Chain A
Amino acid sequence: MRHLLNPLDFSVEEITRLLDLAGDIEHNLPKYAHVCDGKKLATLFYEPSTRTRLSFEAAMLNLGGSVLGFASADSSSAAKGESVADTIRIISCYADICAMRHPKEGAPLVASQFSSIPVINAGDGGHQHPTQTLTDLLTIRNLKGRLDNLTVGLCGDLKFGRTVHSLIEALVRYTGIRFVLISPQELKVPGYIRTDVLDKNHVEYKEVDNLDEAMPELDILYMTRVQKERFFNEEDYIRLKDSYILDRQKMKLAKEDMYVLHPLPRVNEISVEVDKDPRAAYFRQAQYGVYARMALIMTLLEVEKPC
């Protein structure tokens, strides 16, 4: 029995197989409508996350399965003080697979140690969010046709953004990847990402604080939100906030085949005028997220691909 707790739990070959399956699902959705008939997905969301939860539920429903679960800790037995270990033992009796989101880091790992069904980490604190990474990889591969030989710009809050860290860790396994890390000084990627991930894998990268200057060289721009509360002083925030808002003017500086991704929710870091640009891929990314999760559920449940 396999779980997915960390984006690196799958080898590059396994990721390729999973993305191939997701690609086939995208183009032949009706073929998969009953592959999980009679199977149940439990969504154990100890903190609210409408988007991720609904994406998981849509994925299971698309496969013919059904869903059960809770959407906040208040409506679960955690409110009565039940441990993660006890909860997952019980849920293992009710469902065939589960997706867990928890505010505490490592909770899905604890669940996997006591579970008799596959556990999917649907986000644990600021730690990991592997299905977002699968979604990002699928989106990039579908848009660019490859996951190697790309210049990937990551912009905004690179210090606290777990999706950014996971994506870097996943992409360094492909050849010819180059990163442009665009952020204010205060929100640069943590030291361990530079030393343990980028330097260790001899990956080319540069750290800059100006999005305009970086735009022309990018194949992918992965936007994240810069939150005011992350700054140490208001002066810096006012100085830098607009430079990380993507608008039509900045898009003019980009290649014709550059694509913009965002893990969502978007607040104001991408101007709505960019939504109409064919290179704005963040809503398609959400759709790909459903296909990626469908492929993941099938893989973990060891469901045969239909003919």
Chain B
Amino acid sequence: MLNISGIKDGIVLDHIAAGKSLDIYYHLGLDKLDCEVAIIKNAKSSKMGRKDIIKIAGNLDNLDLDVLGYIDHNITVNIIADGVIAEKKSLKLPKKIVNVIHCKNPRCITSIEQELPHVFKLADEATKTYRCLYCEEKYGK
């Protein structure tokens, strides 16, 4: 078993579905930050069998974690300060998500203009329905 040390200040994303940590790494834009990041894949979990964990060290005030609510609301977000859990953040469905999912409607303007961001807006929280900002087509997984 691997030993990864705890972090003093930062964020720990726990209970990520096994194998999904790299997707989250990119969706959060962590590849563009210069902070220390530890990605633990397939860690043993009594609740999930296997899980992934991401530990991010440093001051991350500008990190937009809302997207995690869309990707997997079971992820636990622990804010670490001075080596202890200072806050457990609950995840909500984001009102808007950008470049996480892509519109599949062949009639949508995004199908021919590649540089446009793929923006989806939360249309119905109860049914977790997202619609493309441009063509309003419902996103189907």
In contact, A125 and B113 (Cβ under 8 angstroms): no
In contact, B135 and A105 (Cβ under 8 angstroms): yes
B108 at the interface (CB under 8 A from A): yes
Question: Once the chains are docked, how many angstroms separate the CA of A240 from the CA of B53?
Answer: 60
Per-residue interface assignment for chain B, residues 26 to 65, with 1 indicating a CB less than 8 Å from any chain A CB and 0 otherwise = 0000000000000000000000000000000000000000
Question: Once the chains are docked, how many angstroms separate the CA of A103 from the CA of B108?
Answer: 9
Q: Chain B nearest CB: distance from A294 CB in Å?
A: 28
B interface: dominant SS: loop
In contact, B109 and A104 (Cβ under 8 angstroms): yes
Give the number of residue pairs across the A-B interface with Cβ within 8 Å: 46
Question: Once the chains are docked, how many angstroms separate the CA of A231 from the CA of B138?
Answer: 24
Per-residue interface assignment for chain B, residues 75 to 104, with 1 indicating a CB less than 8 Å from any chain A CB and 0 otherwise = 000000000000000000000000000000
In contact, B134 and A105 (Cβ under 8 angstroms): yes
Q: Chain B nearest CB: distance from A170 CB in Å?
A: 15
In contact, A109 and B107 (Cβ under 8 angstroms): no
Most buried by A among B107, B109, B138: B109
A102 at the interface (CB under 8 A from B): yes
A83 at the interface (CB under 8 A from B): yes
Q: Chain B nearest CB: distance from A253 CB in Å?
A: 37
Give which listed residue, A85, A102, A107, A127, contacts B136 with CB less than 8 A: A127
Question: Once the chains are docked, how many angstroms separate the CA of A83 from the CA of B107?
Answer: 16
B110 at the interface (CB under 8 A from A): yes
In contact, B112 and A104 (Cβ under 8 angstroms): yes
Q: Chain A nearest CB: distance from B94 CB in Å?
A: 20
Per-residue interface assignment for chain B, residues 116 to 127, with 1 indicating a CB less than 8 Å from any chain A CB and 0 otherwise = 100000001000
Per-residue interface assignment for chain A, residues 117 to 153, with 1 indicating a CB less than 8 Å from any chain B CB and 0 otherwise = 0000000111100000000000000000000000000
Q: Chain A nearest CB: distance from B115 CB in Å?
A: 7
Q: Chain B nearest CB: distance from A196 CB in Å?
A: 8
Taking CB atoms, residues of chain A closer than 8 Å to B108 are: 104-106
B13 at the interface (CB under 8 A from A): no
Given the interface pairs A104-B108, A105-B107, A105-B108, the reply to whether A84 lies near B113 with Cβ below 8 Å is yes
Question: Once the chains are docked, how many angstroms separate the CA of A105 from the CA of B116?
Answer: 13
Closest residue on chain A to residue B137 by CB atoms: A105
Question: Once the chains are docked, how many angstroms separate the CA of A196 from the CA of B124?
Answer: 9
Q: Chain A nearest CB: distance from B20 CB in Å?
A: 30
In contact, B115 and A83 (Cβ under 8 angstroms): yes
A110 at the interface (CB under 8 A from B): yes
In contact, B138 and A106 (Cβ under 8 angstroms): no
Given the interface pairs A104-B107, A105-B108, the reply to whether A110 lies near B134 with Cβ below 8 Å is yes
Given the interface pairs A104-B111, A105-B107, A105-B109, the reply to whether A192 lies near B138 with Cβ below 8 Å is yes
Closest residue on chain B to residue A127 by CB atoms: B135
Q: Chain B nearest CB: distance from A45 CB in Å?
A: 16
Question: Once the chains are docked, how many angstroms separate the CA of A83 from the CA of B108?
Answer: 14
B24 at the interface (CB under 8 A from A): no
Closest residue on chain B to residue A128 by CB atoms: B136
In contact, B135 and A106 (Cβ under 8 angstroms): yes
Taking CB atoms, residues of chain A closer than 8 Å to B136 are: 105-106, 127
Binding site for B on A (CB under 8 A): 83-85, 102-107, 109-110, 124-127, 192, 196
